[in-house]
Each structure stands twice: as structure tokens, then as C-alpha cells.
Structure 1
Amino acid sequence: MKFKLNQLLKKYKIVAFNFVDVGAMDALEYIYELDAVTCIVGFEPNKNEAYKLYKKYNRVPFQSFVLETDCLSDKQEEVEFNIMKHASMSSLLDIDFANYKKNFGQYKEFDSWEKNVKIEEKIKVKSITIDDYFKEHTFIDFLKLDTQGSELKILKGASKLIAERRIAIIKVEVSTIPIYKDQAVFSDVDLFLREQGYVLVDFLTYRAIYNPLFGKSQNRNSHYAPCGDAIYILNTEYLNESSKIRSAIMLNWLGYISLAKHIISKTILTLDEQNYILNYNFKSLKKMFKQFLINICPPIVLYYFKKILF
């Protein structure tokens, strides 16, 4: 029997996937192949970066697309937001320069890294919580947090949704070293989420992926991985039928096939339908072309391709 994913979703009355991308600079995270049934809310306090995101995504045929410039935290108030020289390092928190240098001072890239975290501007923004923003009955299928040290504050600001089991998968940037002042580290985030019924799926550490074709690479044995992305899923006993199917689809998209199979086997989908979803190839031409460039380009060339294409 032949299936089509959109028809399968309709059969089981799955009308939307809700994605929330916090710290959405450069790119939003969602399943490209399901953009027509995707409701996405992005948060980016840096208005220049928010405008770039809007230009990049306003023509994508999402079911709904909202981009907010409020800052998420654990309370409602006016706060100072630090815009760094490299916009991706912008944060509610100040850099801990002493600890930064202690842990990274001998890296050949440190001089440029240090310049990137210099504050260029402090702006006043309104902070709100996830609980404030998302009203009753909203279920978040995928929450991504990349906010340079304030992730635990944001999670604590989502305590109501978390307690009501209304967030399925969380992808959160974490660090084992506090780069920012008063930053929660991985163990803090991990303990908080485990206490709320979440299970750690993976910890994807950041590493240098380029090696020269000839000669020895510098810092060959250096550790580039004090931080990365931790992925959590709500214990499946708290998920209903529809959210199990959606979570299995997203885990397949993220590459966790065994876990996806375990969850989808607990649903009413037929075996053929389960196999169809598990074997669905979430590789758009754009993603394959991007991976091709990553594989063949040296870093300096890839840097400019990213600015143009990604």
C-alpha cells in the first residue's frame, strides 16, 4: 500500500506541528518537508537579526509564522540585552572574561573569539515568560533554546507548560563551562529537566570538523567541546496518541530512528504506516546541497557560502 505523509497526518487528525525557536538568529529549525502544517514562533531580541529572519522566511508557506522581538526569561520585566560584535554571542548575561581566557586562551582562534564577545550595544527590551506567551491548550512539539547562557531561566519561565506536560521535545544549548556570568551549566539544566519528567536523548558537542588535506592540523588534540546541544524528550507515558506520532516523526527527522520506532510502536498506526514513517527520508535538495558544500569546502570558502546561501 502506498502512502503519502500528508494523507497519513490527515487520517490521524494531525493538523499542525508547533515549533518554538528561541534565539532564532540566522536560521529557524523546523521540518522543511512539513512546512505547510508547521506553526512556528521565533524569538530574537536583536531587531536587525529579526529583520533578516523575516526576510528569509516570510515567503515560506508555513501554516503560521510569528517572529517576536521580546526576550524570554523567567519573569516579566524590562531588561538590558547585550548585543555583541558577533551577533550570535548576544545575551542577557555578561561575558565572564576571566573564565573565558582561562579555558580558551591558548586556542589559536582566541583573539578573534575575544573580539567577538565584546559588547557593542546594550538595549532595553521587555522580557516575558513562555508561560505568559503561550496560553492554555497550546502544545509545543519542539522547543529550541539557544540564548547564550540564559536557557535555564527560560525553562523556569515555562514551568506551567512543563508541569502540564505541554512541551514534547526540547533542544537546548548547554555548556560544561560558564562562559557568561551567572550562567547555568549542563548539569543544572539536566537536573531540572530530569526532575520534570524529561529523558536525555543526546548531547551533541561542538567540534572542529575541518582537517587540512596535507600536513598536520594545528591543535589536533585540542578539545573544542565545552558546549553543545542537549536533546530531551518528555517521558512517553505523558504523551497522548497524536503527540506520540508527531514526536516519532520529529525523532526520525533528528536522526534517532530506534527511539522513534519505540515510540511509534506504542501507537495505533498499522505496521505498514509505522514503517513508512520510520523510512521517510527527511533530506530535501537544499539540505543535501548544504551537506555537499560542508563536505568539500575549506572553512573560509564555506563561511562565505553560508552568508550567501544559508
Structure 2
Amino acid sequence: MTERPRLVVVDGGARGGWHLLPGVQAHLEVHAFEPDPVACAALVSTRDDMTLRAWPWALDAADGRRTLHLARHPSMSSLLAPDLEAYARHFGRMLDYPAWARAIETVATCEVETIALDTWARQAGVRRVHLLKLDTQGTELDILRGAHGLLGSGDVAVVYCEVSFLPVYRGQALFPEVHRFMRDTGFSLVDCHFHPHRRMGHHLGARYAEPPRWTAVGDAVFAWRPECWDASDRVDLAAAGARVLAHLGQPRTAATWLARHAGLSRRDVDFALAAWTASARRHAALPRRALRWLRRRSA
């Protein structure tokens, strides 16, 4: 039996390991970038059911060296210094603000090597990336600029990127700038998942409780235009991209890709989506008979 092709994933800001796409872990080839030496070393042992390679660099707009600001809470470390004045201005009324302000404080700095994603892909021989995930505390737009070649040529199918609507770090690009860059590069915004578990403002008691709503941070999903892929590659790329989108909670866009760009019938689309979303424990693939038929038809 022919081995199923792996989904190639680039994880920018990989501290803590890889946790997305739980239903297809065994079929992933993850390239995890983490400039903190301790956190990078820990990545190697986080998973044993998928291919993961840790790269000890910070993704950036260009190759070089930059200062990494290590925060008291490691997950808030960044190549950008925290903007404590803006942080207090926007979040100072939160009940737990003192703890958050302490968490983002810089406790140490170190020099780290940076690399542009275009440079790395060329050196590593990686031609296609099915999912680019970025969570780097404010430098996401810099990383996207360093991947302009990959993005502009359609060699990245889906981008899952943390975005901010209020500044937390000095020089941080906010959502409108990220959205504009992605749109100009040929991507469409599919959705933005906000983080509703944090509520801003004073606690008013149960009688005046407000429902969870969006806050200042979210995860945006951007998708390439499948019609721009070469006809010879479109079926396989659309199927792989749809698989990623389905596991990111975007079955409607995934169905569109399968029907319009991979040529599947409604029955096969329903079958694929049901298989992909049924359970995180199921490592289902696109129906082989459908792909065989599609490849014959497009030959």
C-alpha cells in the first residue's frame, strides 16, 4: 500500500509543543521554530506519533540576529519589548491585571539567530507548506514578510496566525496591517477565533454578568486561492488544504475546496468531512477511490 503523503506544517513560536490538528497527528511533518534553547530542546520529546523537527531559530523578516526578551511567563517572550504603558492603558481595569502585568515583564534578554521563512524553505528543500501557524507575540507580520516568496506563489495553503487588536509589544503590527498584507499577497480571511474566556472590566456580580465575547487577541485563518494552483497539482493541494481547514473548524470552506477545486461529488465531500471531523482519534484520509478517479480525469 502506498504511504499517504504527509501534511507539511511550519510552527512559528513552537514553545510547548504542537497541539493543532489532533485528528491527523500521525500524518504530519512538523517543522517547529523556537529560539529559546531550553524550550527548543524540549520540543523533540513532546510527540512520538508524528514527524517533528525543531529548528533553533526565530522566524523573522530577514536573516540575522535580534534580541529575545524573555518574559516572566515564558509564553509571553518576544523579539519585541513589552509596551507596559499601553498594556496598563488597555487592560489595567481587569481584575487580574497585576498578575498579567507581572507575567509580561522582561526578566532577561539574549541574542538569537533569525531566519526568513523563504531562506529556510530554500535551504531545507521544502517546496510546499500546507499549514503555516504563527504565535510569536507580535512579530507575525515580520514573519509573513519574510515568507513573501512562498506566500505569493501559492506554496502555502493555509495560514493560522495570532492577531491582536490592541498593542501589547512595542512596534507590534495589529490585525488591520496583517489582514492588508495577506489580502495583497493573495489570501482571503476565512475566520477569526477570538479568545472569549477573558473578560475585561470590573466584576459586577452574577446579576449583571455579561456573556463571553471577543477580546483583544484572536487566531485568524487565511486561505490561498485554489484556482491559482496549476491544474496538475490542484486536486492534491485542494484536498490537503481542505483537510487542514476541516480540522481547524472550517468545514464549509473545506467543502468548497473539495467540490470546486478537487472535483468531488457532494456524496464524497460529505464522506470526507464526516471522516475528518468525526473524532480526533480517527486518522481518516480522503476516499482513495475518489482521488484515483480525479487523477485519471485530470491526466
For the criterion TM > 0.5, the same-fold answer is yes
Matches within 5 A, 1:5-154: 15-57=5-47, 59-60=48-49, 62=50, 64-135=51-122, 138-154=127-143
Aligned to 1:251: 245
Q: 1:114 to 1:278 in 2, by over 3 A?
A: same
CA shift at 1:120, angstroms?
Answer: 1.4
Rounded to whole Å, the distance in 1 between the matches of 2:270 and 2:210 is 42
| Structure 2 residue matching 1:189: 3-state secondary structure | helix
| Structure 1 residue matching 2:42: 3-state secondary structure | helix
CA shift at 1:220, angstroms?
Answer: 4.0
For the 8 Å contact 1:14–1:242, the answer to whether it is kept is: no
Aligned to 1:296: none
For the 8 Å contact 1:72–1:129, the answer to whether it is kept is: yes
| Structure 2 residue matching 1:42: 3-state secondary structure | strand
Q: 1:276 aligns with which of 234, 253, 271?
A: 271
Rounded to whole Å, the distance in 2 between the matches of 1:92 and 1:217 is 43
For the 8 Å contact 1:129–1:157, the answer to whether it is kept is: yes
For the 8 Å contact 1:19–1:30, the answer to whether it is kept is: no
Unaligned runs of 5+ in 2: 200-204, 283-299
Rounded to whole Å, the distance in 1 between the matches of 2:86 and 2:219 is 21
Matches within 5 A, 1:166-245: 166-208=155-197, 216=206, 220=210, 225-239=215-229, 240-245=234-239
Rounded to whole Å, the distance in 2 between the matches of 1:188 and 1:95 is 19
Rounded to whole Å, the distance in 2 between the matches of 1:126 and 1:28 is 22
| Structure 2 residue matching 1:203: 3-state secondary structure | strand
Rounded to whole Å, the distance in 2 between the matches of 1:186 and 1:274 is 33
CA shift at 1:55, angstroms?
Answer: 2.2
Unaligned runs of 5+ in 1: 1-6, 287-310
CA shift at 1:31, angstroms?
Answer: 2.9
Moved more, 177-186 or 252-261: 252-261
CA shift at 1:192, angstroms?
Answer: 0.2
CA shift at 1:219, angstroms?
Answer: 7.2
Rounded to whole Å, the distance in 2 between the matches of 1:90 and 1:98 is 17
| Structure 2 residue matching 1:279: 3-state secondary structure | helix
Code of the aligned partner of 1:276: F
Rounded to whole Å, the distance in 2 between the matches of 1:89 and 1:245 is 35
Deviation track 1:152-192 (CA, whole Å, cap 9, x = no partner) reads 00000001111221001001111111111011000000000
Code of the aligned partner of 1:258: R
Percentage identity across aligned positions?
25
CA shift at 1:241, angstroms?
Answer: 1.3
| Structure 2 residue matching 1:25: 3-state secondary structure | coil
Number of equivalent positions: 269
For the 8 Å contact 2:196–2:212, the answer to whether it is kept is: no
CA shift at 1:52, angstroms?
Answer: 2.8
Rounded to whole Å, the distance in 2 between the matches of 1:218 and 1:97 is 30
Moved more, 128-137 or 180-189: 128-137
CA shift at 1:78, angstroms?
Answer: 1.4
Aligned to 2:154: 165
Is 1:261 matched up with 2:255? yes
CA shift at 1:274, angstroms?
Answer: 2.4
Q: 1:138 to 1:282 in 2, by over 3 A?
A: farther
Kindly report the root-mean-square deviation, in angstroms, between the aligned alpha carbons of the 2 structures: 2.4
Q: 1:137 to 1:91 in 2, by over 3 A?
A: closer
Q: TM-score, normalised by structure 2?
A: 0.83
Q: 1:120 to 1:247 in 2, by over 3 A?
A: same
